[in-house]
Amino acid sequence: MPAKTETATHVRRAEKCIDGKDPRYDWPIKNGPAEAVPHALLALVVEQQATNAHLAVIAESLGRIAAALDKPAVEESAPEPKRRLWLPNRRNA
């Protein structure tokens, strides 16, 4: 799932920034925490979008279940059992 990969990438970049390194090239940087904030926010946005998509699917399923429960149950009559032809000479067997 690409959302997880993007999230992991942004989290890793934020951690590098907090450690004082450039998020892509590992060069030392002075303003690491300030650079980490955008990456952390992007990770949160990606995860929130994935969560919202998952919740939308759940809401759609629950809507279908509710609609199915609102419909009156159609009672199907059981089919009559098949009648078997019993020949007179079979009845004694």
What is the structure's pLDDT at 90? Answer: 58
| Band (37; pLDDT cuts 50, 70, 90) | very high
Whether residue 7 is predicted with pLDDT greater than 60 in this model: the reply is yes
Lowest average pLDDT, out of 23-27, 39-43, 44-48, 78-82, goes to 78-82
| Band (40; pLDDT cuts 50, 70, 90) | very high
Structural domain includes residue 93: no
**What is the rounded radius of gyration, in angstroms, for the C-alpha atoms of the chain?**
32
- Amino acid making up residue 28: P
Given 3-state DSSP classes, what are the helix, strand and coil percentages for the chain, each rounded to the nearest 5?
A: 65, 0, 35
| Domain range enclosing 39 | 2-70
Total domains in the fold of the chain: 1
Burial label for 29, CB within 10 Å (0-12, 13-18, 19+), is middle
CA distances 52 to 3, 11, 32, 80, 85, Å, are 12, 20, 30, 51, 63
22 three-state secondary structure: coil
Whether residue 93 is predicted with pLDDT greater than 60 in this model: the reply is no
Whether residue 2 is predicted with pLDDT greater than 90 in this model: the reply is no
Structural domain includes residue 30: yes
Structural domain includes residue 49: yes
Mean pLDDT of 63-78: 85
